[in-house]
Amino acid sequence: MNSRAAANQAYVILKRLRQQMEEQTDISVRLNNSMSVIAEEMQVDAAFCFVNIDDNYLELFAAHGFAAESMHKVSLRIGEGVIGGIAKDCRPCAVSDYKKHPRYLYKADLGEDDYKSFLGVPLIRRNKAIGVLVIESRDIREFTDREQETLETIAMFLADIVSSDEMSEYKKTLIKERGLITRERIKGLSLSKGYGLGNAVIHRRRHAVTKIFTEDKEKELDRLTAAHQKMNADLDAKFNSTKLGIGEHMDILDAYLMFARDKGWFKKIADNVMSGMTAEAAVERSYEDMWNRLSATTDVYLKERLHDLRDVADRLQSYLSGDFGESGKSDSENIVIIAQTMGPAELMDYEYTKIRGLIIEDGTPTMHVAIVAKALNIPVIAKIKGLFEEVKSGELIAVDGNEGYVYLQPSDDIRRKFQEKIDENKKLQAKFAELRHHLSQSLDGVRIGHYINVGLAFDLDYIESTNCDGIGLYRTEIPFMASDVMPDVERQISCYKELMDKAGKRKVIFRSLDVGSDKLLPYWAGLSEENPAIGWRSIRITLDRRAILRKQMRAFLEAAAGKELNVMFPMIADLEEFEEARETLMLELEKEKRAARPVPAKVNVGLMIEVPAIVFQLDEILEKADFISVGTNDLAQFVFACDRGNPRLTERYDVLSAPFLRLMRLIAAKAAEHGVYCSVCGEMASNPIEALALIGLGFRNLSSSGSSFGRVKSMIRSMNVEEVSDYMQLLLNSSKKTLRPQLMAYAYDHGIEIY
Ligand code: PEP
Ligand code: MG
């Protein structure tokens, strides 16, 4: 049979299946009958279909050629036997003598004893197998590629039936009958913090492909071209008007648009149309092809691009059908979006001021939609399986992004607690906003230099809203991480200039590229190292790849032309590293001068105190450096030999303990002795109780995250520096594992505001 004959055969079968699915009988009956149609048309003795009952199990839902009693009695784990393997790997499998297959598993309930040859294909939805369709024959025979193609086309049709609302209702009834309880509180993975309460909007863009073949290819091609053009024009308009501003978000959207405009992708769809498929089926087929190629890769970045491709494919389907589903539409003023997967553009189909939460079944922390949602202050929870099918549109959902819980139809009590938290948060935000008119100054008149940390473009808004003294840490690696390619000097200059312009007269401290360990660049193959946190990272990379450092220095110099430039180097472990890095900057400065390009009015060079060894060279380094900033996140990880990214260890050691605080006191004292500007830009400066201790130890400059600036400021404005300093001296004699309770009690007794 040639390809055309296979297409014809599939066409005939699908026509019969569609007619049969329109019958007014139970879905279970129709599914069963469809197996008979498949067996008859494919001229085999048996046809049957396993469907995923949950994340781990497949169950026999329909069969021809088997005893009716085996229905819903036979189940397999995903990965178990040949059929479970097809579901796990999402790959078809054909064998002429089934029982000789190494993964063959005898299931007495199924009664396959008579059958020899086997052909199984996965039913795929959203990159996952949602079932397996199998045909079997009594004789030993080879199934041809064409037969496999035909069965795959039928599987596309069945996948739509299996993922239909009707089917999910049927599955729910089965679950209920078996006495399984539905869930009320579900644990997921928090990708963005915050609390949200709203009505569920099921993000269902995916349209069932009901017509697979066409007789009028030209007309289909015209439809496809028109839909593709309109989609791209609308995307351009949407992204040009997005509220997200420039910076790394635009890179995310650019990456997305790349798929939408990709000529190769479009050509593949057009080729499918020319082979006789409808535009809709052609889009699906080309997506599946791409998915088959990319899904096996271990490259996280490439895998995540599949989400973008899914998003673009769904979008194109909407343009083809003219049906834009529920996306963006809800009467409620408070919505919680539930999606299986989502691209950044889809999130923007919703009115973002109404979004109170986002739940993504297949989410990972680095997926683009999570980065965008975080920038919009939307709590995001990922890795909750089955929710998409479980929840009904409009149902009330509470999202706890702090703990990573989702509450389905929360009780009155939980609802009240959530509302309290949300209201409390609103009031506090209003109070913090008001603080912008006041100084970060203590009750006894000590002025604290109070800065913010910046990374995402969204952080830039905090400069004005907090009225901070400046940017104490600009994490330049974040635009590098969000970009698809290494940003060139021009791109860097425009990024840094934007920050300088927004900062106006305020101080800005640029940190050189701090990548490696947990901060991976998508375009650099990740090195697999035994201990990445103490591996080839940060300044170690940029000193070894000097061209990158030189380019970044040039971009800093040009962006700060005529102004003060402050550059600091991260992870410096010895004097020589600092001198080499500074020398690189100075050489670039000389080059700029020689080329008669405008240079900064003043250049200050500093370093981060993150590696314990440097603390023992402070006298020498403070002679050379113009300023220092303590990166307490890394410093604590190295002092306690405790991986900062390991959730098991998060509460094991406390920075509020005598050893760490003594070390901090030493740093502050040395800097004061040498008259060198010194600040703290690690998380300690963003946590009010820890910031209180830092000020008590002598630190007078803090750089907090934009979102915690108000909390720290209200603490500063309610403390007495002299009194706290005296108390800290006493406290440092304690040998307790943590001094947090004492400090909290002190703050409470002295009316210091700790939110
Ligand atoms: C730190 O280590 O404290 C720091 C501010 O740097 P980062 O968190 O970016 O490693
Ligand atoms: Mg660090």
Which string of DSSP letters, residue by residue, matches 588-623?
Answer: HHHHHHHTT----SEEEEEEEE-SHHHHTTHHHHHH
The predicted structure's pLDDT at residue 4 = 62
**Which of 681, 693, 708, 250 is closest to 507 using CA atoms?**
681
d(CA 755, CA 750): 14
606 — phi, psi (to 5°)?
A: -135, -175
Continuous segment of H or E residues that includes residue 580 = helix 575-594
d(CA 380, CA 383): 10
pTM of this prediction?
0.60
Q: Determine what percent of the chain falls in helix, strand and coil, rounding each to the nearest 5.
A: 50, 15, 35
Dihedral sign of CA atoms 109, 115, 116, 118 in order: negative
What spacing in Å lies between the alpha carbon of 632 and ligand 1's midpoint? 7
The predicted structure's pLDDT at residue 512 = 97
d(CA 276, CA 257): 28
* Alpha carbon nearest to ligand 1 atom 6, residue: 631
What spacing in Å lies between the alpha carbon of 519 and ligand 1's midpoint? 11
**Which of 618, 360, 629 is closest to 509 using CA atoms?**
629
* Alpha carbon nearest to ligand 1 atom 9, residue: 475
Contact 663, 639 (CB under 8 A): yes
Pocket test for ligand 1, best of 608, 634, 687, 701 (most atoms within 8 A of CB): 634
What spacing in Å lies between the alpha carbon of 372 and ligand 1's midpoint? 22
Please write the tens of the pLDDT for every residue from 154-213.
998 898 888 887 887 788 777 767 755 456 788 888 888 889 999 998 886 556 676 778
Pocket test for ligand 1, best of 451, 453, 475, 640 (most atoms within 8 A of CB): 475
What spacing in Å lies between the alpha carbon of 26 and ligand 1's midpoint? 60
Give the DSSP letter of residue 180. Answer: P
d(CA 743, CA 746): 5
What spacing in Å lies between the alpha carbon of 668 and ligand 2's midpoint? 18
Contact 95, 118 (CB under 8 A): yes
Ligand 1: which residues within 6 Å by Cβ? Answer: 473, 475, 514, 610, 631-634, 681-682
The predicted structure's pLDDT at residue 551 = 96
What spacing in Å lies between the alpha carbon of 638 and ligand 1's midpoint? 12
For residue 421, give every residue at least 6 positions away whose Cβ sits within 8 Å of its Cβ, in sequence order, or none. Answer: 195
* Alpha carbon nearest to ligand 1 atom 8, residue: 633
The low-confidence residues of the chain, meaning pLDDT below 50, are: 181, 243-248, 328
Residues near ion ligand 2 (Cβ under 5 Å): 631, 634
Q: How far is CA 36 from CA 17, 49, 66, 187, 696, in A?
A: 10, 11, 11, 42, 80
**Helix 279-294, helix 263-274: angle, nearest 10:** 130
How many residues are listed for the chain in this entry? 755
Burial class of 673 by CB neighbour count within 10 A (0 to 12, 13 to 18, 19+): exposed
Atom of ligand 1 nearest to the CA of 682: 3
